[in-house]
């Protein structure tokens, strides 16, 4: 491998082909699929996908990887930060996101990708603790804003722990593949603002957190919580995902 992974980009290159069959199964790959891959790295997964689907859109920020990604049939390479690319404008439009996501941007990428309406299935390799957050249950340490946003729009369809040995460099943390399928639209901006504000100060009550985030006054938040049958001293992690939708409606 002639390219050294960059820690600042969260790069851990996939080098073991054995995990690819697990990805194929969890992503339910079909010949007609158009897939979005973010962070293709050395192209191990990219080539595997391109041999099995109609088209792959690969988004990569590291120009050093160009020679490893050149010449792959049925693949369009998009240079730039995936968080700043207009992913919704890709042609043909992708409907699956299949990727070994860079560790440092995995959570925001998943949260943002929920807003791309045509995406209906995700199969992503992330840190194990991040994978656990996506479908964490209320009143657990892992439950947070991304849990709510993901669960409002999708349901988990698969999970597979991944050995550290499939990456170079070998990461210091555990990883996992998590697959989920869309069940509804992404949370609208108003709900998203309430969710992010609610979890912005986890040590505070939800009403105080919303006030600190500038979402609503504490008094208004307490009134809205009462309207959905919750006490004024409840904390954000106690609410089920649908309750955040009801809370947003009560606040407005």
CB 119 within 8 A of CB 97: yes
- The answer as to whether 2 is a domain residue is no
Its pTM surpasses 0.85 = yes
CATH classification at residue 207 = 1.10.8.100
Asked whether residue 78 falls in the same domain as residue 107, the answer is: yes
Quick one: 211 and 103 in the same domain? no
- Residue range 220-238, pLDDT digits in tens: 999 999 999 999 999 999 9
Place of tokens 């979005």: 36
pLDDT of residue 78: 95
Q: Which residue has the higher pLDDT, 19 or 239?
A: 239
4-60 pLDDT, tens digit each: 555 555 456 666 678 899 999 999 999 999 999 999 988 999 999 999 999 999 999
Residue 206 has phi, psi (to 5 degrees) of -60, -40
Query: What is the reported pLDDT for 192?
Result: 98
Asked if residue 128 and residue 227 are part of one domain, the reply reads no
Least reliable range by pLDDT among 77-81, 85-89, 138-142: 85-89
Cβ atoms within 10 Å, residue 5: 18
Please give the pLDDT value at position 1: 47
Give the per-residue pLDDT at 4: 54
> Per the structure, how many domains does the chain have?
2
Coil/strand/helix, residue 246: helix
Host domain of residue 200: 189-251
Using the predicted structure, report yes or no on whether residue 81 has a pLDDT greater than 80.
Answer: yes
User: Is residue 42 domain-shared with residue 146, that is, in the same domain?
Assistant: yes
Assigned token pair, 197: 């504000």
């Amino acid at each position: 491998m002639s390219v050294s992974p960059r820690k600042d980009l969260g790069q851990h290159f996939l080098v073991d082909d054995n995990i690819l069959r697990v990805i194929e199964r969890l992503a339910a790959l079909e010949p007609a699929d158009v897939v979005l891959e973010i962070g293709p790295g050395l192209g191990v997964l990219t080539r595997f996908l391109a041999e099995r689907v109609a088209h792959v859109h690969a988004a990569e920020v590291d120009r050093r990887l160009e020679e490893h990604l050149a010449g792959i049939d049925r693949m369009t390479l998009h240079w730039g930060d995936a968080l700043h690319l207009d992913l919704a404008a890709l042609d043909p439009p992708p409907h699956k996101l299949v990727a070994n996501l860079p560790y440092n941007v995995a959570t925001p990428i998943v949260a943002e990708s929920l807003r791309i309406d045509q995406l209906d299935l995700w199969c992503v390799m992330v840190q194990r603790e991040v994978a656990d957050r996506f479908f964490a249950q209320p009143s657990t340490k892992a439950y947070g804003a991304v849990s709510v946003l993901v669960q409002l729009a999708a349901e988990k369809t698969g999970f597979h722990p991944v050995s550290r040995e499939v990456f170079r460099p070998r990461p210091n943390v555990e990883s996992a593949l998590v697959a989920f399928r869309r069940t509804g639209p992404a949370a609208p901006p108003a709900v998203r603002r309430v969710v992010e504000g609610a979890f912005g100060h986890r040590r505070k009550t939800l009403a105080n957190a919303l006030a600190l985030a500038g979402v609503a006054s504490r008094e208004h938040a307490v009134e809205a919580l009462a309207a959905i049958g919750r006490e004024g001293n409840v904390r954000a992690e106690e609410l089920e995902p649908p309750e955040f939708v009801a809370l947003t409606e009560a606040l407005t």
